Each structure stands twice: as structure tokens, then as C-alpha cells.
């Protein structure tokens, strides 16, 4: 029996009675949305790390000053009005009246200032703003001011982007936590509160509607507009086994599954009580992330050997099966079919040349150092990618040491700069939302500024120069030139190895309405009948 038949049979025969079932009355059930997230919520500090699952939970609890809408434009969220001086150096913001934290305290400018200081210490765009910052200060309870040494035209995008870490606003006492240490209090001003006493990492996380939240009057659009929560409670139920999740959805034990694997989609589509659709039209970019600080991937020729050998079709087939509508080859780092997409310098990804890869390893003087692969087994995407990678690396002559673990552990261990033998790592797999990869502005994993870069810490001045050129570009043509140079430099230095572009499904009960397509599974506007 092959994998697809096994999963289908398992999902079709697993009894609903074998699953944990909350004791809910019919009325309570209508007001409780049961959601299966992509991964376990192992930690809950949206500034400390960059895991999508943490960000997805955080948008329920913490609000943003601005929110990016479906056109990728930042719109006012907590802000009532802003003013920028004629020289572009002074930004003055005024908060909406009546904003409250979940503990009943008002949201004040000093909370915003402390939150932005913590966020900007970790976020790549925030770090760029800090580099030109003169002052960030509270003027009064509802007004704060940002003074810069030189203009930063994309400031509002930085404050509203969907890429983690987002500029979430916390109470000052929490925001004063060292940005390199995790917070231990989860109070925000967003549309839902976090039921910390019900949090069981590895099993469940619970969110409850915040009665005092004041939605904006505009229609909701991604992270912008009126976030009107129509249910009283959202229960995240962790189900790493796809067959279990599929059976639970069909039996009505859960309402919404964030990322069903394509193997099970035909089964789900055949059930009239279930609906299936594309989760995000901007899709995802698969990532083979290497550690530039430690052997063997500190040598660019070893990193290029991976690019030379890598066959994106193998990776994509591993997660989407035979559905060619769900993936595209990607000889670059940016989202296909968007205005700035480029394949400049991406020829090496079109060869799939194992002999060329072995030659590069020989030229690099590879000494047999083990490649410590962190492979999350509770994520269908990373698990499938990892199986392809182990085979690929062994074929070109690299010694492979697999650390099969869970996504929460990968998220923690990848922060280590220690040698692999001392608790560090050589590579891990992840993926990036296409909404974050349309340009360099909100794309931390394309940065190559050494210690300030994303995990793997590439130090490639050519990449950084091209990013600066894009930020400074005066015309669309200048932007396109900078993007071509950036793609080429990122490929030459191998910031990371793209494993392809792919779309993902989501599935939900037919009794649930209001589910939207987008980069984040938001609950506002979602209801049950």
C-alpha cells in the first residue's frame, strides 16, 4: 500500500469517537470555532522569533498600528491619523480613541514607543529605521513622534507588514522585556484574548473574544479594516497526523484545517459537508536554509553545489503530488507573477547537475564534515522536503546527520550559532509566504547582513547593496534593475536554496462561512451555522 492509499484509507476509517471531543452544547458549539493550525504553538512571543504559527496566533491577540490589505498596501489600524514633514524626516502619529488592553488599561503612546523599540531591535526593516532614527518619543497619551536623519518612505509598510516579526503593540511593562528573551505575559489589545490557563503546548491553545475591542468601520481586508469576531471562542487543536485531522474534519469534530496535504484533498472534496480551496493566491516559496557560519556551508562552493544538484520538481512533487496547477519552478527568490519578479542569475537552478555538484565539493576541499539537518516531522511540508534533501546530499557526497524533531524544537535550535556538534545546526527547511516575497521590504530571509541577518546569518555585501538600491529607487525601472541585481547576488552567494513555488489548500466545514483567502488564516468575519 503506497503513502497516498494509506492516508486515504486512514482518513476514511478513523472513528470520530477516538478523537478528543469537548463537551459543548449546540449553542456553545455554534460560537466555538475549532481550528487545526499548521503546527504546535510551542512558544508565544511574536517578536522573539519568526515562526508563522506564532504570528498567526499573535494577530488575534495583539493589534497593529497599520495593517496590510489585500492589495499589499498599509492602512490605518490603531492609528487615527499621521502627518509627515515636508522633508520626510518627522512622522507624527495619533492613536484612535478608546483603545484598551485586555487587562482594562488604555493603550497609550508610551506603550507604542516601548513596543516599537523592542520590535525594531529584531525586525530587519525595524533595524533599518533604527539606523536612521534620531528620536522615538511619546508626545502625549495619544500622540507619538518618530524623527529620522534621512527619509524612510516605506515606514508605514514596515509598521503594517504581515512578515514576522510584525510590529505588534504591547503594554509598556511587557514591551520592556529584552527583545532576545521571551515574554511570559500575553496581554494585547487585539480582537481576542489568550486563555493562558487552557494552553497545553502540543495539544491546544484557546482564544476568547475581547468584548471591549473596537473594530474599525471599514470592511476587513487581510490585516486591515474592521476585525469583527463573530464567534465567542477559537480553539486551536494540534493534530500533526494528516489522516487524523482529515477524519476529524469529516466527522465534524473540527471546523477548519489550515493546511491539508494534497494527497487527502480528493477525499475531502468528495464529502458534501466539507469545502476545500486555495489558502493564499500568492502562494509560498520553499526554503533550504543553510548555516553560513559553520562548515561545510560556510564555503560558498559547497552551497553552490546544493544549487547545482537541486531539482525543484522533486521537492514540489513531494508535497503536491501530481497536481501541476499547484507549483512552479522558481529560479529566484521572489513571488512569481508579481510586478518585480525576476529570474536574473537563476540559471544554476535549471541544471540539476549532480556531476557539477560533486566537482564543486571537490574544489571546496570538503573534508567530510557532517551536515546536521534539522527536520521537523510534525510539519508535512518540512518532513517531505527533508526526505528529498537527505537523498540529494548523500548522492553528491555529503555526510548527513539527521535530527528528526518537531517544529517547535527547530524554531529554538536554529537560533544557535554554536557548531553543529555543540547543539548548533547545518541546515533546516521552511517556507516563506508569497505575500512577504514580492520585494525586499518585508522579506527578512533575503537579507545578508551578517549577525543581523535571518537564521544562517549570510554576510554578502552585494546582496545588501542591491537591497539599498531598491529602497532608494526613484522609478519602477530603477526598482526592476535593483531586483535583477539582488536576485543575481543572492543566487551567487546562496542566501538560501529555493525549492520551488507552491500553493496550499485549506479545508473547512460547509457550515462555516466567511473564510477568506490570504497569507494568514484570520477569524474575523467567520461564523458557524
Q: pLDDT tens across 136-161, in order? A: 999 999 999 999 999 999 999 999 99
Supply 408's cell numbers: 517547535
Q: pLDDT tens across 61-112, in order? A: 999 999 999 999 999 999 999 999 999 999 999 999 999 999 999 999 999 9
53 contacts 382 by C-beta, under 8 angstroms: no
Mean pLDDT of the region 382-407:
97
Q: Residue holding cell 511619546?
A: 138
Which phi and psi (to 5°) does residue 268 adopt? -70, -40
The pTM of this model reads 0.87
Q: pLDDT tens across 270-287, in order? A: 999 999 999 999 999 999
**d(Cα 362, Cα 374) in Å, to the nearest integer?**
25
Q: pLDDT tens across 454-470, in order? A: 999 999 999 999 999 99
Examine the pLDDT at 248 and tell me if it is beyond 50: yes
Q: Residue holding cell 522558481?
A: 330
Burial class of residue 181 in the structure, from the number of CB atoms within 10 Å of its CB (0-12 exposed, 13-18 middle, 19+ buried): exposed
- In the chain, the percentage of residues whose pLDDT exceeds 90 is 92
Length of the chain: 529
Examine the pLDDT at 26 and tell me if it is beyond 70: no
Q: pLDDT tens across 183-217, in order? A: 999 999 999 999 999 999 999 999 999 999 999 99
Mean pLDDT of the chain: 94
According to DSSP, the residues that pair with 90 across neighbouring strands are 147
List the beta strands (DSSP E) in 291-412.
327-328, 371-376, 400-405
The separation between the first and the last C-alpha atoms of the chain, rounded to the nearest angstrom, is: 39
> Band of the pLDDT at 24, cuts 50, 70, 90?
low
Q: pLDDT tens across 325-384, in order? A: 999 999 999 999 999 999 999 999 999 999 999 999 999 999 999 999 999 999 999 999
Q: Which of 349, 351, 374, 355 is nearest to 501 (CA)?
A: 349
The DSSP string of 467-515 is: HHHHHH--SHHHHHHHHHHHHHHHHHHTSSEEEEEE--EEEEETTEE--
Q: pLDDT tens across 418-431, in order? A: 999 999 999 999 99
> Band of the pLDDT at 308, cuts 50, 70, 90?
very high
340 contacts 479 by C-beta, under 8 angstroms: yes
Residue 7, pLDDT score? 44
Examine the pLDDT at 27 and tell me if it is beyond 70: no
Amino acid at each position: 500500500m503506497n503513502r497516498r492509499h494509506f492516508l486515504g484509507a486512514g482518513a476514511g476509517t478513523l472513528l470520530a469517537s477516538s478523537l478528543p471531543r469537548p463537551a459543548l452544547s449546540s449553542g456553545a458549539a455554534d460560537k466555538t470555532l475549532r481550528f487545526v493550525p499548521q503546527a504546535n504553538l510551542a512558544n508565544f512571543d511574536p517578536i522573539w522569533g519568526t515562526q508563522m504559527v506564532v504570528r498567526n496566533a499573535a494577530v488575534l491577540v495583539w493589534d497593529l498600528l497599520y495593517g496590510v490589505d489585500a492589495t499589499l498596501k498599509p492602512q490605518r489600524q490603531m492609528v487615527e491619523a499621521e502627518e509627515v514633514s515636508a522633508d520626510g524626516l518627522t512622522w507624527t502619529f495619533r492613536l484612535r480613541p478608546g483603545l484598551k488592553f485586555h487587562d482594562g488599561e488604555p493603550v497609550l503612546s508610551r506603550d507604542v514607543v516601548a513596543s516599537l523599540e523592542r520590535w525594531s531591535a529584531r525586525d530587519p526593516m525595524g533595524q533599518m529605521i533604527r539606523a536612521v532614527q534620531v528620536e522615538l518619543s511619546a508626545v502625549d497619551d495619544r500622540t507619538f513622534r518618530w524623527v529620522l536623519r534621512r527619509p524612510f518612505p516605506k515606514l508605514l509598510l514596515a509598521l503594517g507588514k504581515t512578515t514576522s516579526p510584525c510590529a505588534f503593540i504591547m503594554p509598556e511593562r511587557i514591551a520592556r522585556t529584552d527583545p532576545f528573551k521571551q515574554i511570559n505575559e500575553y496581554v494585547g489589545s487585539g480582537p481576542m484574548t489568550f486563555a493562558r490557563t487552557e494552553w497545553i503546548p502540543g495539544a491546544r491553545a484557546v482564544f476568547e473574544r475581547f468584548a471591549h475591542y473596537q473594530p474599525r468601520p471599514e470592511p476587513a481586508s487581510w490585516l486591515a479594516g474592521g476585525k469583527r469576531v463573530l464567534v465567542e471562542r477559537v480553539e486551536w487543536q494540534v493534530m500533526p497526523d494528516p489522516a487524523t485531522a482529515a477524519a476529524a474534519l469529516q466527522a465534524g469534530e473540527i471546523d477548519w484545517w489550515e493546511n491539508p496535504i494534497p494527497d487527502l484533498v480528493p477525499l475531502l472534496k468528495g464529502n458534501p459537508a466539507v469545502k476545500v480551496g486555495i489558502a493564499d493566491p500568492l502562494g509560498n516559496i520553499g526554503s533550504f536554509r543553510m548555516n553560513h557560519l559553520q562548515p561545510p556551508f560556510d564555503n560558498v562552493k559547497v552551497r553552490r553545489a546544493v544549487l547545482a544538484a537541486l531539482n525543484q520538481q522533486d521537492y514540489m512533487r513531494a508535497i503536491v503530488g501530481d497536481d501541476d496547477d499547484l507549483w512552479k519552478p522558481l529560479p529566484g527568490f521572489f513571488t512569481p507573477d508579481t510586478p518585480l519578479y525576476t529570474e536574473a542569475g537563476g540559471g544554476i537552478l535549471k541544471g540539476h547537475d549532480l556531476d557539477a555538484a560533486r566537482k564543486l565539493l571537490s574544489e571546496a576541499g570538503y573534508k567530510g564534515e557532517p551536515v546536521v539537518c534539522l527536520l521537523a516531522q510534525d510539519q508535512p511540508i518540512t518532513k517531505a522536503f527533508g526526505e528529498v534533501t537527505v537523498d540529494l546530499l548523500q548522492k553528491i557526497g555529503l555526510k548527513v546527520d539527521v535530527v528528526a524533531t518537531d517544529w517547535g524544537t527547530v524554531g529554538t535550535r536554529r537560533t544557535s550559532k554554536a557548531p553543529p556538534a555543540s547543539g548548533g545546526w547545518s541546515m533546516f527547511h521552511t517556507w516563506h509566504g508569497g505575500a512577504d516575497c514580492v520585494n525586499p521590504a518585508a522579506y527578512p530571509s533575503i537579507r545578508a547582513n551578517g549577525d543581523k541577518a535571518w537564521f544562517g546569518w549570510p554576510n554578502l555585501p552585494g546582496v545588501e547593496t542591491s537591497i539599498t538600491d531598491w529602497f532608494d529607487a526613484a522609478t519602477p525601472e530603477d526598482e526592476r534593475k535593483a531586483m535583477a541585481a539582488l536576485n543575481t547576488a543572492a543566487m551567487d552567494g546562496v542566501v538560501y536554496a529555493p525549492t520551488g513555488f507552491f500553493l496550499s489548500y485549506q479545508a473547512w466545514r460547509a457550515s462555516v462561512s466567511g473564510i477568506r483567502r490570504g497569507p494568514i488564516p484570520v477569524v474575523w468575519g467567520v461564523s458557524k451555522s
